[in-house]
Chains A and B, each alone.
Chain A
Amino acid sequence: SQQGEEDPQALSIQEGENATMNCSYKTSINNLQWYRQNSGRGLVHLILIRSNEREKHSGRLRVTLDTSKKSSSLLITASRAADTASYFCATDASGTYKYIFGTGTRLKVLA
Chain B
Amino acid sequence: EPEVTQTPSHQVTQMGQEVILRCVPISNHLYFYWYRQILGQKVEFLVSFYNNEISEKSEIFDDQFSVERPDGSNFTLKIRSTKLEDSAMYFCATREGQASGNTIYFGEGSWLTVV
A interface residues (Cβ-Cβ under 8 A, vs B)? 30-31, 33, 35, 40-45, 48, 50, 88, 90, 96-104
Does B109 contact A30, Cβ atoms closer than 8 Å? Answer: no
Does A97 contact B45, Cβ atoms closer than 8 Å? Answer: no
Given contacts A101-B42, A101-B43, A101-B44, contact A43 B91 (CB under 8 A): yes
Distance to closest chain B CB from A26 (angstroms): 15
B interface residues (Cβ-Cβ under 8 A, vs A)? 31, 33, 35, 42-45, 48, 50, 55-56, 89, 91, 93, 95, 98, 100-101, 103-109, 111
Does A96 contact B56, Cβ atoms closer than 8 Å? Answer: yes
For A33, the chain B residues whose CB sits under 8 A away are 103-104
Does A45 contact B104, Cβ atoms closer than 8 Å? Answer: yes
Residue of B nearest to A46 (CB): B103
Does A31 contact B108, Cβ atoms closer than 8 Å? Answer: no
Distance to closest chain B CB from A76 (angstroms): 19
A40-B111, A45-B104, A97-B95 known; 9 new pairs, CB 8 Å cut-off, are A30-B100, A31-B101, A33-B104, A41-B108, A42-B108, A44-B106, A48-B101, A50-B100, A98-B48
